[in-house]
């Protein structure tokens, strides 16, 4: 762990162990056109405002800082030059170079997003690591619904599907924050309520799952397996209403699940990350993730990580990139995490607030060890 400012390009000589990216997504296999590429830099689902570009964001600037040197271009080169070089190299070589520089040793990949995306093993292989699967509950339920002929069939099949998934996946994930908001009744629904909700939902289409009874049912099915449950909280695309994704809304669920033996992992959390850190401090089974937040805040990742580290116990904080679609987001997410962690812990060591030994130990915990313990991954 050194406090030196990193040069351009990522570096993995900072003394951290191979990272465990405990929440990420597949990479598009084809070459994106410029508009598609830019759209992956934002959480917006609309075109940029007239006169603006998604490259003029912290994520865009971070991509231009960290990625061009890995493709033999100078840092901060214009987007067009970068995209041209990327096209020349092709998607496979680009992915290999960009993931190879991350120092990520384990990829816990949420497979619930649609599109022609790399899977856990394929993604990890490009980066020289190991892949694991995270099952998105709502996608699983929608898939089961598509093949169900009635509510009873649906609930039975779903029950089996969740229990089966727990044998191969390392964790579950819920996007209830997007589908309803986190202000859900914390108790498990009765089987009658589930049956009624399933019947109504199936009769309606079934479209995208937004029914709060079924969302709660999924959460409790996952909790019953004992696998850690990842919950999206905080910012994301505008499907979500931000204040309805405040993790404090999960306090009731935290209390209701405190004695189940299952861990809950709050993802992203921003701008309510201090609230998430508080929950991780007072509930033994609650963890928090710095994920998406660091990727989207560029040089502010240092300040934001420091805010997480106010109340969050050091054994309760996990690293992820939340990368999706572009291998660049793995590069940027890991580089910003490394830079931020090295800077924060280095400053605290330099001031005498922390010992160098503690800083090294905590760095390794957040980078990898906490996740290895929570998800019961093999020691490296």
CA distance 163 to 355: 45
The interface region with a copy of itself, picked from 3-11, 142-150, 156-164, 218-226 by CB under 8 A, is 3-11
Confirm or reject binding of residue 13 to a copy of itself (CB under 8 A). no
Say whether residue 378 binds a copy of itself (CB under 8 A): no
Residue positions counted in the chain: 380
State in angstroms the smallest separation of the CB of 79 from a copy of itself. 11
Cα 327 to its chain centre, rounded Å, is 14
Interface segment toward a copy of itself; rule CB under 8 A; list 6-14, 94-102, 184-192, 196-204: 6-14
Q: How many angstroms separate the CA atoms of 121 and 126, rounded?
A: 9
Binding mask 186-205 for a copy of itself (x = CB under 8 A): --------------------
CA angle 335, 170, 180 (to 5 degrees): 85
According to DSSP, the β-strands at 104-110 and 19-24 are parallel
The pair phi, psi for residue 187, each rounded to 5°, is -85, 155
Distance CA(214)–CA(201), nearest Å, equals 9
7 is an interface residue for a copy of itself by CB under 8 A: yes
Structure-token pair, residue 273: 């990350």
Which of the ranges 32-40, 96-104, 319-327, 358-366 carries the binding residues for a copy of itself, by CB under 8 A? 358-366
Site size toward a copy of itself, by CB under 8 A:
78
Nearest Cα to Cα of residue 21 among 264, 327, 285, 236: 327
Give Cβ neighbours of residue 158 (< 8 Å, ≥ 6 apart): 140, 141, 144, 218, 221
Pick out residues in 153-182 that bind a copy of itself (CB under 8 A): none
Residue 107 within binding range of a copy of itself, rule CB under 8 A: no
Segment 225-254, which members bind a copy of itself (CB under 8 A)? 235, 237-238, 241-243, 246, 248-249, 251, 254
User: Taking CB under 8 A as the criterion, which residues in 20-59 touch a copy of itself?
Assistant: 42-54, 56-58
| Nearer to a copy of itself (CB atom), residue 144 or residue 304 | 304
274 binds a copy of itself (CB under 8 A): yes
Positive or negative: CA dihedral 73, 79, 80, 82: positive
User: In the complex with a copy of itself, which residue's Cβ is closer, 22 or 95?
Assistant: 22
Which of 32, 69, 186, 299 forms a contact with a copy of itself (CB under 8 A)?
299
């Amino acid at each position: 762990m050194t406090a030196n400012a990193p040069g351009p390009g990522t570096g993995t000589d900072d003394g951290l162990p191979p990272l465990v990216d405990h929440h990420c997504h597949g990479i598009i296999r084809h070459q994106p056109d410029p508009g598609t590429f830019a759209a992956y830099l934002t959480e917006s689902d609309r075109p940029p405002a007239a006169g603006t570009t998604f490259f003029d964001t912290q994520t865009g600037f971070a991509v231009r800082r960290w990625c061009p040197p890995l493709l033999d271009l100078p840092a901060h080169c214009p987007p067009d030059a970068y995209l041209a070089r990327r096209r020349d190299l092709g998607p496979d070589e680009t992915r290999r170079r960009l993931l190879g520089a991350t120092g990520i040793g384990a990829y816990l990949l949420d497979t619930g997003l649609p599109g022609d995306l790399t899977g856990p093993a394929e993604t990890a292989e490009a980066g020289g690591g190991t892949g694991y699967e995270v099952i998105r509950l709502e996608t699983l339920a929608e898939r089961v619904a598509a093949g169900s002929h009635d509510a009873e069939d649906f609930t039975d099949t779903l029950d089996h599907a969740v229990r089966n998934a727990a044998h191969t996946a390392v964790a579950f994930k819920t996007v209830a924050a997007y589908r309803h908001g986190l202000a859900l009744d914390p108790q498990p629904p009765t089987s009658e309520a589930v049956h009624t909700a399933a019947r109504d939902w199936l009769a309606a289409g079934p479209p995208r799952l937004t029914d709060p009874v079924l969302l709660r049912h999924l959460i409790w099915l996952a909790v019953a397996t004992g696998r850690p449950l990842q919950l999206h909280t905080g910012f994301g695309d505008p499907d979500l209403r931000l204040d309805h994704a405040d993790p404090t809304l999960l306090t009731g669920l935290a209390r209701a699940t405190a004695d189940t033996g299952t861990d809950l992992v709050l993802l992203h959390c921003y701008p309510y990350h201090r609230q998430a850190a508080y929950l991780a401090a007072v509930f033994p089974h609650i963890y928090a993730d710095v994920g998406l937040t660091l990727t989207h805040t560029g040089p502010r990742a240092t300040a934001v990580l420091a805010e997480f580290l106010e109340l969050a116990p050091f054994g309760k904080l996990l690293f992820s990139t939340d990368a999706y679609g572009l291998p660049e987001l793995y590069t940027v997410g890991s580089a910003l995490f490394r830079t931020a962690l090295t800077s924060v812990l280095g400053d605290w060591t330099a001031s005498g607030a922390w010992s160098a030994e503690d800083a090294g130990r905590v760095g390794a915990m957040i980078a990898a060890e906490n996740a290895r313990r929570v998800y019961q991954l093999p020691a490296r």
